[in-house]
Chains A and B, each alone.
Chain A
Amino acid sequence: MGTWGGDAPSSPDSAGAPAPRPSGGGIDLIRVGVDAVVVDHVRESIENFGERYLDRVFTRHEQESCRGSEDVRARGLAARFAAKEATIKILRPQDRSVPWRAVEVQSHPGGWCDLALSGEAARLAGAADIRGFSMSFTHEGQLAVAVVAAWRGTS
């Protein structure tokens, strides 16, 4: 765990506009999650299960954000699945169920993404006093990797 000084990020996306810091303290990075997904595995899941796979795992927004060629879609969805899993690692659900769609990767026209949680995912984040997330993902060959960091304000 570390404390970010200086221009600490203050919104869930790493490139978003700064928001006020919590009064009387800094921002603590409290948990980090990482996950990697093979792009071809996502492509094969789409081939095998089609809309059932897409609709069980990805929100409508996520599916629409990954429109394009078969390769573009598989790469985008693989990164989003990795981000969901990285976030679930942060939330530490133990025996709780966190549906994949309860963690949504929201894409912005500027090219960055942030996270929106709902249902049990949001409840677990609240219980852990998580105030926001920063995330990033990348591709190298067939691998999509996502890193998510959770932070909270201190008083």
Chain B
Amino acid sequence: MTDDPIRRVLDGHARLPVSAWALGDGDNLYEAGMTSHASVNVMLGLEDTFEVEFPERLLRKATFSSIASIRAAIEELIASPAT
């Protein structure tokens, strides 16, 4: 999996003041300007893009704090979609 779909979702929904393509995988998205409300939209956009559903256990700030953490969560959901 590349980071491209994640960055596309971020550019579409995170309301960052800079493009997600300008951010590193480990950069903190909240420090970059993403609000909690925007993170809801990011979550729903990721669900549409990757055809997954974030379970309640992943609804924590850390899950959406960086491109790397989002990628890890998506990979986990794709590998074990029912958990």
- Residue ranges of A at the interface with B (Cβ–Cβ < 8 Å): 35, 37-38, 41-42, 45, 48-49, 52-53, 56-57, 81, 85, 93, 95-100
Count: A-B pairs, CB below 8 Å: 45
Residues A49 and B44 in contact, CB atoms below 8 Å apart:
yes
Given A41-B15, A93-B60, A97-B59, answer yes or no on A49-B37 (Cβ-Cβ < 8 Å).
no
Inter-chain contacts of B61 with A (CB < 8 A): 93
With A49-B44, A56-B44 as known contacts, state yes or no: A97 contacts B38, CB within 8 Å.
no
Question: What does the 1/0 interface line of B29-43 toward A look like (CB < 8 Å)?
Answer: 000000111101101
Q: Does B4 contact A (CB under 8 A)?
A: no
- 25 A–B contacts, CB within 8 A, in A order: A35-B36, A38-B37, A41-B15, A41-B38, A42-B37, A45-B37, A45-B44, A48-B13, A49-B41, A52-B44, A52-B47, A53-B40, A56-B43, A85-B37, A93-B60, A93-B61, A95-B60, A96-B60, A97-B58, A97-B59, A98-B59, A98-B60, A99-B56, A100-B40, A100-B59
A10 CB to closest chain B CB (Å) equals 30
Residues of B within 8 A of A96 (CB): 60
**A41 to chain B: closest residue by CB:** B37
Whether the Cβ atoms of A85 and B58 lie closer than 8 Å is no
Q: In whole angstroms, what is the CA distance A52 to B47 when docked?
A: 11
Q: Which B residues lie within 8 Å of A99 (CB)?
A: 56, 59
Query: Chain A residues with Cβ under 8 A from B57's Cβ?
Result: 97
Smallest CB gap from A35: residue in B: B36
- Min CB distance A82 to B, Å, is 9
